[in-house]
Structure 1
Amino acid sequence: MKIVGHPISFRLPGRVSELRNRLSRVRYFRGHGVHSPFVYDIVRSVFMRDDLLPGRRDLYEALLTAGVSRRRAVQLQNLMIHCGYTTFGLNRADAEFCVATCGLPRPATLALVRAAAEAGHTVALMSPYDGCERQALCGQIIAGHASTTVDNRGYLLIFNNHLPKQHFRI
């Protein structure tokens, strides 16, 4: 049986997987179910804003130049302002807020995350669902991380601070 040119059997597994992903995130919708005041504040003040907070726009412009969508660039710039980070680095770990783009190879990504953890810096790993290898990499990072991680579908935030080991899928 065909609907719109594609056999139903080819689309069904993908749809079931997508439904499972959405249902697992339902409890975190709009911040409900997040039992961390730090992460709840990020959800309400950063993820739910469509406009830029007052302050510098360096990260926003660099992300747009790197090909990141406007929505994700706004969220990451707002996160930087909200958390009070003064420096950022694209694909490098020598700043308070590090952004690892999806073009960074697996060994370099793992080295960046490790170096940021040692220095106590926060990492935003872009496109955590961009293929099976990328998902496996993110799962490995989450499993081995000692602090809080937040998965926002568009990027994975890895905090290296005093927060307990928790993982939020928003």
Structure 2
Amino acid sequence: MKPGGHPIGLRLSGRMAELRNRLSRARYFRGHGVHSPFVYTIVREVFMRRELLPGDRALYGALLEAGVSRRRAVQLQNLAIHCGYATFGLDRADAEFCVATRGLGRQETLGLVREAAAAGRTVAVLAPYDGCERQALCRQLVAAHRSTSVDNRGYLLLFHNYLPKQHFRI
């Protein structure tokens, strides 16, 4: 039977995958269960804010022009202000905070992350769940990453600093 044009099995398996994804993130809801003071502060001070922090808003404007939602643009701008990043780069690795948009190809994204890691810069990979290939790329990035990474559905943050290897799904 195909109510709505989709086989029931496909709808059910998709809903089960979504439920599994939500349950794996529930333990870090609003920062609870996060044993890293750095990541806990980011969750509470950046992810949970709806308004922009006082400071430069250049990244916010660039993200909106690139087609990023207002909510995600506010979060990334607040992260840049919170962490004290003075420069940013969209689809390039020559700044303190590098943002890989969804239009960047697989090889280009891998190159950007590799170059940023060598220089000790933070990377945000936008739309980590935008298709199977993008999900596989993000899983590969997390597996190869040597420091803390944070996945909050809208983007994957790869911090290249002194923190130990940890992965948080928020």
TM-score, normalised on structure 2? 0.98
**SS of match in other structure, 1:168:** strand
Q: State the shift of 1:2 in Å.
A: 4.4
Match of 1:22 in 2: 22
Match of 1:130 in 2: 130
Match of 1:46 in 2: 46
Q: State the shift of 1:12 in Å.
A: 0.6
The question of 1:112 aligning with 2:119 is answered: no
Root mean square deviation of aligned Cα: 0.9
Q: How does 1:60-139 map to 2 (within 5 A)?
A: 60-139=60-139
Alpha-carbon distance between aligned partners in 2 of 1:79 and 1:28, rounded to the nearest angstrom = 18
Match of 1:157 in 2: 157
Alpha-carbon distance between aligned partners in 2 of 1:6 and 1:101, rounded to the nearest angstrom = 31
Q: Which runs of 5+ in 2 are unaligned?
A: none
Alpha-carbon distance between aligned partners in 2 of 1:10 and 1:148, rounded to the nearest angstrom = 34
Q: Which runs of 5+ in 1 are unaligned?
A: none
**SS of match in other structure, 1:85:** coil
Alpha-carbon distance between aligned partners in 1 of 2:106 and 2:2, rounded to the nearest angstrom = 39
Q: State the shift of 1:36 in Å.
A: 0.1
- Amino acid of the structure 2 residue aligned with 1:165: K
Alpha-carbon distance between aligned partners in 2 of 1:106 and 1:4, rounded to the nearest angstrom = 34
Q: State the shift of 1:4 in Å.
A: 4.1
Q: State the shift of 1:7 in Å.
A: 3.4
Match of 2:57 in 1: 57
Q: State the shift of 1:66 in Å.
A: 0.3
Q: State the shift of 1:10 in Å.
A: 2.5
Q: State the shift of 1:6 in Å.
A: 3.7
Q: State the shift of 1:3 in Å.
A: 3.7
Q: State the shift of 1:9 in Å.
A: 2.0
- Amino acid of the structure 2 residue aligned with 1:75: Q
- Amino acid of the structure 1 residue aligned with 2:32: H
Q: State the shift of 1:136 in Å.
A: 0.7
Match of 1:145 in 2: 145
Alpha-carbon distance between aligned partners in 2 of 1:17 and 1:162, rounded to the nearest angstrom = 34
Alpha-carbon distance between aligned partners in 1 of 2:3 and 2:155, rounded to the nearest angstrom = 33
Between Structure 1 and Structure 2, how many residues are aligned? 170
Q: State the shift of 1:161 in Å.
A: 0.2
Q: State the shift of 1:5 in Å.
A: 4.6
Alpha-carbon distance between aligned partners in 1 of 2:135 and 2:7, rounded to the nearest angstrom = 27
The percent of aligned pairs where both chains have the same amino acid is 77
Alpha-carbon distance between aligned partners in 2 of 1:5 and 1:110, rounded to the nearest angstrom = 38
Alpha-carbon distance between aligned partners in 1 of 2:89 and 2:168, rounded to the nearest angstrom = 24
- Amino acid of the structure 2 residue aligned with 1:8: I
